[in-house]
Structure 1
Amino acid sequence: MGSGQSKSADTAVSGTLSIPPTQPTFGNTPVSGASPQFVTVPGSNSVIDPAAFFKYGFPGPVNDVQYHDEFVSSYDRRMRNPGWVVEHITAESLRTPPNAPPVDRKKSVFKEDLTIPELFRGRLADYFRSGYDRGHQAPAADAKFSQKAMDETFVLSNMSPQVGDGFNRDYWSHFEDFCRRLTKEYTNVRIVTGPLYLPKKDADGKYRVTYEVIGNPPNIAVPTHFFKLIVAEQPLKDLKSDKVAVGAFVMPNAVIPNSTPLKSFAVPVNALERSSGLQFLTKLPNNQRKELCQEVTCEIIVRDFKKALPGK
């Protein structure tokens, strides 16, 4: 190595170290459609080449980014949960277009995501008698503009285990309704939703992250919390405004009384970033942001949503 002898193209040469570039994926396929090409980093004096292992395959982690009609999602293979789901809703998208075929939720069925490798895929049997709902991260009610869009929200890669009564079928549903009602005040509403695994303080004063795992074998993590980041653009009262209303909310995956103020779950965006490991709004200057709950009344309206059976 020190003599400057060359090595194969996928290993290091004198003064360089080979590394694979980060490559986004669509489902399980790199966006480029090609295998990762290794590049060299100048200045390395190492006499070994650990990166040569990658000629046998890159271990990951792999984020399965999937594009659907109503949402885009990134799947977390380790937790068997979405890492995040992104939506764009408008007043128009929340209703079926005139003269279009009717959209019926009863026609939609839960299904496994066959684009995820079987080893890492959530299965219907994993939720059976688990005591948890298959909780949509992108809600079916946000996809009324076509049957295909609604059907796609029922794929298991859009699901997380959620407490049913008192949360998924109650407070969380009312929160989703709050997001939809924002389309009456803003032209565009963009939402990021996802699970969190947060620490809690134990009796010994130390903080630990503890979560249940369901399935057989137990593979699907049960999140301790869920978040939504809401970005509301172009208020109808001032369409020329370049200001964007931003609100971040974190809720426990637990029974929440409907009397609980929605604002009690509001958190700073940077606190959500720290907890999730995600970055939001990096291209949105602070001087263009407004606090959502200072622009609108942040509160839920309790509605009698149709109940779904746990694990169904």
Structure 2
Amino acid sequence: MKNRIIYALLIALCVIGFWLFENFYTPATYSNPNGTRRDLVQTDFLPNSTTGEVVQHAYYTLSYSEAHEQAEWVAYTLKRKHLTYDDRERPYFIEDPKVKTKSADWRNYRGSGYDRGHLLPAGDRRFSEQAYNETFYTSNISPQDKYFNAGIWNRLEQKVRYWCKKYGNLIVVTGGILKNDLEEIGSEDVDVPRTFYKIVLRGNGERTQVLAFLIPAEESQEPLQNFVVPVDEIEKKTGIDFFQNQPEAWQSVIESEVNDNGWKF
């Protein structure tokens, strides 16, 4: 009888310990070590922030929307030297310490039926532990249908890597279309975008080439080319001025056209 009581107490302590770990444990911040080299988007190509909450990490920049508990955009450079196959241990998702209002807790996603979908893919940042771990801040994730996340969205991410290998350095800006009538999950009311966008830029000056994608947040077998739109269309849906620091004449040409010539699909 005494042994049964001891066993029951041990089991109860294990259950309580596991519950406390799951609900209250947060690992150390993925801080920026001294001397870490940065590969950030030039200010000339950063979008404006409609929220005023711009956060700069060592290897990407974002604009956080507290109202939607996720980034309205994440911007980063992708270079050939970034595309490694280093084996990295997947870290915990943690709140972003640089977001003043605190980014959403990952537990909002638990049991929601949605993936914690990366905006800046972890696969683009395998070249260093620091760069890889930074992608697991919850400011860099958005609720995504698992078939979308593993399907057409993943195909687009892979295509971007292919273009980087083929053409060289790229600038990528990506996020969900954030509105006021979206489904919400978790105790913090994380909004679930119905559509995601990705803008890919290469070159500079008159030789700049841009492709912009607007994709409904559901799996599709359609070719990626079918989702190419003018940057202007994404600006209308988001209220974001993506290339605000570029000359007006440059913007009027680059943002209004759909031209996938020179991009091998």
Same-fold call, TM > 0.5? Answer: yes
Gaps of 5+ in 1: 1-60, 97-102, 199-208, 235-240, 299-312
- Show the counterpart of 2:133: 151
- Show the counterpart of 2:234: 272
Q: Is contact 1:243–1:288 with CA below 8 Å preserved after alignment?
A: no
- Show the counterpart of 1:222: 192
- Show the counterpart of 1:105: 88
Q: Is contact 1:88–1:188 with CA below 8 Å preserved after alignment?
A: yes
- Show the counterpart of 2:78: 89
Q: Deviations over 1:247-294 (max 9, x none)?
A: 11100111223xx11111111111111111011234151698585511
Quick one: structure 1 residues 188 and 287, their matched pair in 2 at CA, closer, same or farther if it must change by over 3 Å?
A: farther
Task: Report the alpha carbon displacement of residue 183 of structure 1 after superposing the two structures with TM.
Answer: 1.3
Pairing 1:255–2:236 present: no
Task: Report the alpha carbon displacement of residue 62 of structure 1 after superposing the two structures with TM.
Answer: 4.8
Quick one: structure 1 residues 131 and 274, their matched pair in 2 at CA, closer, same or farther if it must change by over 3 Å?
A: same
Structure 2 letter corresponding to 1:180? R
Bigger proportion of residues as helix: 2
Structure 1 letter corresponding to 2:53? D
Q: Is contact 1:244–1:288 with CA below 8 Å preserved after alignment?
A: no
The whole-number CA distance in structure 2 between the counterparts of 1:156 and 1:287 is: 34
- Show the counterpart of 2:168: 187
Quick one: structure 1 residues 108 and 89, their matched pair in 2 at CA, closer, same or farther if it must change by over 3 Å?
A: same
Structure 1 letter corresponding to 2:202? A
Q: Deviations over 1:113-154 (max 9, x none)?
A: 233345x53012101111001111000011122110000000
Q: Is contact 1:105–1:140 with CA below 8 Å preserved after alignment?
A: no
Quick one: structure 1 residues 127 and 296, their matched pair in 2 at CA, closer, same or farther if it must change by over 3 Å?
A: same
Pairing 1:124–2:106 present: yes
Pairing 1:211–2:169 present: no
Q: TM-score with structure 2 length normalisation?
A: 0.73
Larger RCO, structure (CA 8 Å, separation 6 or more) = 2
- Show the counterpart of 1:41: none
- Show the counterpart of 1:54: none
- Show the counterpart of 2:58: 69
Q: Is contact 1:63–1:77 with CA below 8 Å preserved after alignment?
A: no
Q: Is contact 2:182–2:194 with CA below 8 Å preserved after alignment?
A: yes
The whole-number CA distance in structure 1 between the counterparts of 2:97 and 2:242 is: 29
Counterpart secondary structure, 2:220: coil
- Show the counterpart of 1:297: 264
Pairing 1:245–2:209 present: yes
Task: Report the alpha carbon displacement of residue 185 of structure 1 after superposing the two structures with TM.
Answer: 2.6
Q: Is contact 2:51–2:63 with CA below 8 Å preserved after alignment?
A: no
Structure 1 letter corresponding to 2:61? V
Gaps of 5+ in 2: 1-49
| Larger Rg over CA atoms | 1
The whole-number CA distance in structure 2 between the counterparts of 1:89 and 1:280 is: 17
The whole-number CA distance in structure 1 between the counterparts of 2:99 and 2:178 is: 22
Task: Report the alpha carbon displacement of residue 87 of structure 1 after superposing the two structures with TM.
Answer: 1.0
The whole-number CA distance in structure 2 between the counterparts of 1:176 and 1:292 is: 19
Quick one: structure 1 residues 265 and 62, their matched pair in 2 at CA, closer, same or farther if it must change by over 3 Å?
A: closer
Give the CA RMSD over aligned residues. Answer: 2.3
The whole-number CA distance in structure 2 between the counterparts of 1:140 and 1:250 is: 21
Q: TM-score with structure 1 length normalisation?
A: 0.62
